[in-house]
A = this chain, B = another copy of it.
Amino acid sequence: MAQRLIVIGGDAAGMSAASQARRRRGRDDLEIVVFERGHFTSYSACGIPYWISGLVPDPEALIARDPEVFCREHAMDVRMRHEVTTIDLERREVVAQNLEDGGEVRERFDDLMYATGAVPVKPPWAVTDAHGVFGMQTLDDGAALRDWLDADPQPRRAVVIGGGYIGVEIAEAMIQRGLSVTLVEAGEQPMSTVDSDMGELVADAMRGLGITIRGSLPVTGLEEHNGRVSAVVTEEGSIPADVVVLGLGVRPNTALAEAAGLPLGPTGAIRVDRRMRVPGLPGIWAAGDCVETLHRVSGLPVHVPLGTHANKQGRVAGINIGGEYATFTGVIGTAVTKVCDLEVGRTGLRERDAKAAGFEFVSVIAESTNRAGYYPGSRPMTVKLIAERPSGRLLGAQIVGWSEAAKRIDTLAVALWNGMTVDDMTQLDLGYAPPYAPVWDPVLIAARKAVDALAALDR
């Protein structure tokens, strides 16, 4: 009799695992059953802001795979709109509810892949029946917001709560749709994924777009009028709003796992080993936004919900379920985004992370340009490096710039991944031509500046 793999959650991690397992074990060897409570498998949540803005006209484009076609090709039994309600580790069974008709099914498993993703953070004050308040995680969320923006009376005043990636991207999308937009952030400023000196460049760009930024301002409630949201209440008074978007981040979706007794780590996400196995529970796997992973620089467990990790982790799990060997060796916190034309990249530790992890370090900020100064379209690029003292090992890097800036963080990410020192980095053989860099690449200029800063401390 074939063994059976049950996958809970049919998005990036789950589907990657399923397809990698199938690649290595045929249908006679391994049955694969996927339960997905939503309407889609594997859509790009990161693309939703661009659909809201209208840049991506069709939500269909955000859906990576047609589940029926995909499953037929991979000989998988995918049950859409089925939510797993119980995991019975003793009997090695799950119970799933059909969300369309309410029916229940019970299925046995040999291997179980837990890939339930993350759920939006929603404080008590955000729980409301008022219309006009939106999360921004699923395509359904996006569709609901779009409908609201197009409805009569048309909303004019938007308040975005939370200045992380999604909050910033949605704020920009709303401006592009012609609304007046206020972004409210409990911390000092939006884009706290970079240090405040770099974040200030982003905040300036957002203000330049016409976005009103209210920093250090915790939200305490929502006001409504006739069943519609009318204002966001803060410690410093109310901000009128016809539409409110919650961008307060996500937390690992672990309710089902906790109930079943899967171990959680210090971040509140599920603990896994490098092969994506849940420790102590043979045949139980987890991957994606519901698990925690190793930060390679700090050595600490972190929860970094991001599609690129979910895909890699799912692939690793699937290779192992398939009988081969693969490990997921951790993350370094690389991320990129844009605010209008301003590009932002980061990797490794911020100053506050480096302090928290106990590192001694120097940080430098180098101003340069993306192209040779004389080449048309040359624009400023700011590179920040954080280097351990006295070793010179790169601990973190941030880039803010106006064109072809964000993805240059990858150069620094690979240097960081390999434990390079800033002194080593001054030697790097990077591509030079006037349309692409000054003769001293911005990365090299920053590395030289960090070397000088370290030397100055030694003297």
Contacts and interface: CB of A to CB of B under 8 A. Distances in A.
A418 interface: yes
Interface stretch (A30-38, A76-84, A91-99, A403-411): A403-411
A342 to B, nearest CB: 12
Nearest to A399: B431
A359 interface: no
Contacts of A333: 429
Interface string A274-307: 0000000000000000000000000000000011
Interface string A419-459: 01000001111111111110111011000000000000000
Interface string A394-417: 000000000010111111011101
Contacts of A309: 429
A306 B433 CA distance: 10
A431 B406 contact: yes
Contacts of A432: 46, 306-308, 334-336
B375 A50 contact: yes
A306 B331 CA distance: 35
Contact of A439 (B44, B337, B420, B426): B44
Interface in A24-74: 44, 46-47, 50, 55-56, 61-62
A230 interface: no
A191 interface: no
Nearest to A423: B326
A269 B125 CA distance: 73
Interface in A336-370: 336-338, 345, 347
Nearest to A345: B431
Chain multiplicity (copies): 2
Given A47-B374, A56-B376, A335 B435 contact: no
A311 interface: yes
B440 A311 contact: yes
A12 interface: yes
A312 interface: yes
Nearest to A63: B374
Contact of A430 (B410, B420, B431, B439): B410
A413 B427 contact: no
Contacts of A311: 439-440
A328 interface: yes
Contacts of A56: 374-376
A118 interface: no
Given A308-B441, A336-B436, A372 B47 contact: yes
Given A410-B410, A436-B336, A437-B407, A44 B372 contact: yes
A279 B408 CA distance: 38
9 contacts: A44-B439, A46-B433, A56-B375, A306-B432, A335-B431, A338-B433, A407-B436, A410-B431, A413-B428
User: Would you list the 8 A-B pairs with minimal beta carbon distance, nearest first?
Assistant: A336-B431, A61-B374, A418-B418, A414-B414, A308-B432, A410-B411, A334-B429, A332-B429
